Chains A and B, each alone.
Chain A
Amino acid sequence: MQLDRSTPPSAGPLPAPNFPAIQRYKLSNGLPVYCISFGTEDLVELQFNYAAGHSRESQTGLANLTSRMMIEGTRSYDSLALSEMLDFYGASIDIESGFESTTFSLTSLTKHLTPSLELLEEILFGPTFQEHEFKIYIQRSLQQLEVEEQKTTYIARKNFSRHLFGADHPYGRFTGKSEIIQIRLPQLVQYYAEYFAQGPQFILACGRFDTEVLLDGLEHYFGKNIYSGKNIPSAAQSSMVLSAAGIHEYPIKDTLQSTIRAGHLAIPRNHADFNRLQLVNLIFGGYFGSRLMKNIREEKGYTYGIGSSLTGLRYSGYLGISTDVANEYIAPVKHEIIFEMQRMQRELVGREELDTARNYFLGILLSRRETLFQIGEIVRNALSNELEFSDIDKAFRELPEMTPEDIQTLARKYFHPEQLVWVIAGKSGALTPTSTSNSFTSN
């Protein structure tokens, strides 16, 4: 029989979601520990989450720098000894400091977990904040950022949130050169005492381990320390947003391409419409088959890539679009972005296009539960955005019901092309021949 190559093989429905079980325990001091058994490799990732970040600092960069200096020397080990010991056990510690929280993630082979825990206890409870290490760190960071300052992507990213939220809003902050220069070591010592010394908000363990052994280890190293458990309020809850719609240009000498970042405010991660609005964003610019990609890359060849994303934070959120384009395409790309946003509002999306995007979305959600790191991140995000664990699979219940009318309604409610904040780093003047908007010079 001749093979029929023109019709796709018949496809059944997507497999049902199946998120691994999350067990909740408490150490004797009250510190919550979440355990997830997952994976086939003998690895474990432990995440220690602190309520420290841009929304809990009096000066931009304190949370970030304090956490980074914590691994540069402790009561028993200097920076080099710490690095050598961690590397000896094949373990690594990653630090992520964002708007609302700071996380220390330890990844280790399960068989070497105990010695790694001892080192982590030193880092979290015994950092010494040496002047010498601080100087080296600051100097190195400034030199590295000097290189970044020449990149259009960096300049656009650095300024985008400031214009979107306003410089005084915690979500408008960015730790760049001028922020780092102003920080002094005693501020870090004080920040540590206030935000890290009382211990993490929770510990999250994911991987292959014996739960009893793990809990014994955690109890030994972290169950006897102080754990206040008090809720430290986020400044983002009460800060005023001062969004600056319009065009903000950052000229950079001799660039071939410019980076465009555009966006406007949307909804926080725990908003009831969040998952559904994510599907709207997906159709608009959120994946390879999106309208922005098809129009601007695949039909016009203006760029190597363009994408939009819906970012959900704890107390706010935003829709953001970013792309790198040849200087001569800045104006046409801006025009097409607005055109596609308005089209989402004006016309009903076709059934076929909706089905494709929906299935893609749900397929990716299933697919991104493959490694212990992905599972750990999903659970951490749920915890730090105060979502119920039962909401982790909420998209699988909400999205199948959505109609083209729902997509249009959400696009009309949450898309606001006239409110877009545009940041263009690279060539200036492409959008503002009369130079009416704010223009800053970066060097």
Chain B
Amino acid sequence: MKKIEYQQFQLNNGLRILVHEARHIPKVVVNLLYKVGARDEDPSLTGFAHLFEHLMFSGSKNIPSYDTPLQKVGGENNAFTTNDITNYYLSLPSNQLETAFWLESDRMLELDFSQRNLDIQKSVVIEEFKQRYLNQPYGDAHLLLRPLHYQVHPYRWPTIGMELSHIEQATLEDVQKFFYGYYAPNNATLVVVGDTKADTVFKLAEKWFGDIPQRVLLKKPLPIEPPQQEARIKTVTKEVPYIGVYKAWHIPGRMHPDYYALDLITDLLSGGRSGKLYQALVKEQQIAHQVQAFSWNAYDPGMISLDGKIAPGHTIAEYEFAVQQVLEEVMEVSEKDLQRVKNKAESSAEMEFTSLMNVGLGLAIGDSLGNPELINQTLPSYLQVTKADIQRVISTYLIPKNSSTLYYQPNHAA
């Protein structure tokens, strides 16, 4: 894969700026990442970082509507909140780049806080909560798995929040405090990707963001999750057709060297149609009709999760036994299988970076973790993983005493 070139720069107020030039179409993408997420929330006010993301579109000091002027120059935007970050991105025709600087700097400078906006966005977020998590069969499985997996770390609640009442209780005062405590130039990375020049971007950044004052951040050290001593199990019974099994193992954070081997293991297990779990549980034994492993690339120690739904007539014990067998099989991974998931990682990376937005996000995430080079180091790190690494991380992390399991039982007789 070709190296992704970029230039970097920092304003006196601490705002970090990265630029990657790509000229094949007349378009630019601007990605503004704030280093604040659900993990920074007060345990009694969960879901707030995400609610705040909604409020960022409700008008700023000099610009009553964020969206309209952007749409008017042919641009579009969106945002997302994770447990670690809040990320805003815009794409627009390249000759309209300055509009993005105007819009983003004004809302970093000062928001237009109003009770009415807060009330409306609260009800929008409550509907979002229902739509994504409560109104879907198994939709709350990961909401239930988290507090089993984490006992002290704030990853125990999801970005949408622990409960609807936290969102309902948010006040304007909370909004103000959060803004000045986290939405600061010294807590952000601005990345511009596309049909522009680094010099142009640096000048625009100085012009529009240069006079925004540095702020005192509310950042506090987060509690560290103690090592788990024994397997945890929880069972719930709900109106669903099949038994769902949601399993999680603790793994280290994104910057830990073991991350790459662990992520490749999820590909060996369930990446593509040749994944071992799919082949064994779904195709050969037909114990499950769906099974999927994910690694969650959290900044702090995260998880590998394994979600499955058991086929009628089969039991949890059969499922657990089959999963264990597949894990043992992966311990003895063949060179060919390992090469296969590495090749897949290579083509996925090529595909990912056909999108300017993904390049912008990749640079911003690396920078927020203190290493913008991460975008170029990731694929080589996957390619260096050996069979010994795979064996070592399975026996270190993917073991029963390091796991939590949620059984999601149908409330009718199977």
Report which A residues bind B (CB closer than 8 A): 3, 5-6, 8-9, 11-12, 14-15, 18, 39-43, 79-80, 83-84, 86-92, 107-109, 112, 136, 139-140, 143-144, 146-147, 150-152, 253-257, 287-289, 297-304, 324-326, 355-357, 359-360, 362-364, 366-367, 369-373
Contact = CB atoms under 8 A, between A and B. Distances in A.
A361 to B, nearest CB: 8
A88 B72 contact: no
A140 B348 CA distance: 27
Nearest to A81: B274
Contact of B135 (A42, A255, A302): A255
B169 to A, nearest CB: 17
Interface string B113-157: 000000111111101101100111110000000000000000000
Contacts of A87: 271-274, 340-341, 343-344
Given A84-B340, A143-B309, A136 B286 contact: yes
A152 B130 CA distance: 12
Given A140-B282, A366-B93, A147 B25 contact: no
A321 B50 CA distance: 27
B27 A5 contact: no
B27 A370 contact: yes
Interface stretch (B228-236, B249-257, B350-358): B350-358
A14 B137 CA distance: 45
Nearest to B97: A9
A371 to B, nearest CB: 4
B247 to A, nearest CB: 19
A68 to B, nearest CB: 12
Given A88-B336, A136-B286, A366 B74 contact: yes
Interface of B: 2, 22, 24-27, 61-63, 67-69, 71-76, 91-96, 98-99, 101-102, 105-106, 109, 119-125, 127-128, 130-131, 134-138, 207-208, 211, 239-242, 271-274, 279, 282-283, 286, 289-290, 309, 311-312, 336, 339-341, 343-344, 346-348, 350-351, 353-356
Tell me which of A5, A289, A372, A373 has the highest count of chain B C-beta atoms within 10 A of its own C-beta.
Answer: A5
A149 to B, nearest CB: 8
Nearest to B337: A84
A371 B127 contact: no
Contacts of B105: 5
A184 B61 CA distance: 65
Contacts of A140: 282, 286, 289-290
A300 B102 CA distance: 28
A299 B58 CA distance: 11
Contact of A43 (B62, B290, B350): B350
B131 A3 contact: no
Contacts of B125: 304
Contacts of B124: 297, 301, 303-304
B272 A355 contact: no
Contacts of B22: 40
B67 A288 contact: yes
Given A43-B350, A87-B273, A366-B27, A147 B137 contact: yes
Given A5-B61, A371-B354, A80 B283 contact: yes
Tell me which of A143, A287, A299 has the highest count of chain B C-beta atoms within 10 A of its own C-beta.
Answer: A143
Contact of A80 (B93, B279, B290): B279
B240 A257 contact: no
A144 B135 contact: no
B130 A360 contact: no
B353 to A, nearest CB: 6
Contacts of A84: 274, 340
A151 B273 contact: no
Nearest to A17: B26
Contacts of B271: 87
A144 B350 contact: no
